[in-house]
Amino acid sequence: MGSDLDAARNGPRTLATRPRTPIRSSLAGSVALLGFVASLPVYWPLLTLVLASAAILLLSAAAPRRRTVAIPLLLLCAGTAWAAFGTTTGYFWLNRHRLDALVAEIDALPAITSLQLGHDEKAPSGTGQARRYDSYRFINEHLVTQYREQVTSEAPQPTLREIDVLRELGVPYVRYLALRASLERLSLSGFDRGQDGGIALNERGAGGAPWVTSLLYRADGGSPAGGRVQRSYPLSPRWSWILRG
């Protein structure tokens, strides 16, 4: 008798709570989908991937037939993410305001005519070198390093200490670090100033490749020029994508 009463009491409560799970999943999935769209201009691919995955899982879990929701959502999110993060046009328009701000940063430091970020690596074991060392870091075409142990006057390419070069140029180290941070935030490897006043923001590429792809800014809106420019196409009146060999 007691078990029948418990079942009677619990039955309606269980039935009442069941519909709430799909509703909650649907609401949470909708929020995640909106977050996915809103995260695109922020340009954090990992955040966008997490939000897209959450939206697909939650919205498909709330649907009677999961595949009918999951597959279209997967295609939609994958196509949108590819257009945003996998194409130069998508990258440019999502980061247009950041690229304009970066050009202003570069213009404010005219003493630096070219910069290559390089990267930090571990020294090979047993070489007696510093535990970490700079690789392919240039300021105004001078090979530089953060580490005193790497400084050398050996020809044909001496290695200078980064802070000493900046001091000679009259560039505050804090502003230099801010410029580097802006380039890294945009996944760029450095920049070059052209004789025509243009600024080429260099994209990251495979090491040792005989070409460089860049986003070229020209305040006068002129076409890319120079013998090294092999291909180009306009992105806006003042911006172009170029390939230099």
**What whole-number distance in Å separates Cα of residue 133 and Cα of residue 123?**
6
Which amino acid makes up residue 181?
Answer: A
Longest dimension (CA), the chain: 98
Residues 113-138 pLDDT 10s: 999 998 776 655 555 554 566 678 89
Looking at residue 225, its pLDDT comes to: 66
Helix boundaries (H) for the chain: 2-17, 20-39, 45-62, 66-85, 88-94, 96-107, 162-169, 173-185
Confidence of residue 16 (pLDDT cuts 50, 70, 90): very low
Contacts of 154 (CB under 8 A, 6+ apart): none
Compute the Cα dihedral for 30, 32, 38, 43 and give only its sign. Answer: negative
Q: Which residues of 171-209 are buried (b: 16+ CB within 10 A; e: fewer)?
A: beeeebeebeebbeebebbbbbbeeeebbbbbbeeeeee
CB 243 within 8 A of CB 230: yes
> What one-character DSSP code corresponds to residue 19?
T
CA distance 15 to 27: 20
Mean pLDDT value of segment 211-224: 85
What tens digit of pLDDT does each residue of 39-76 get? Answer: 999 998 999 999 999 999 998 888 788 888 889 999 99
Q: In sequence order, what are the residues at sequence separation of 6 or more whose Cβ sits closer than 8 angstroms to the Cβ of residue 141? A: 114
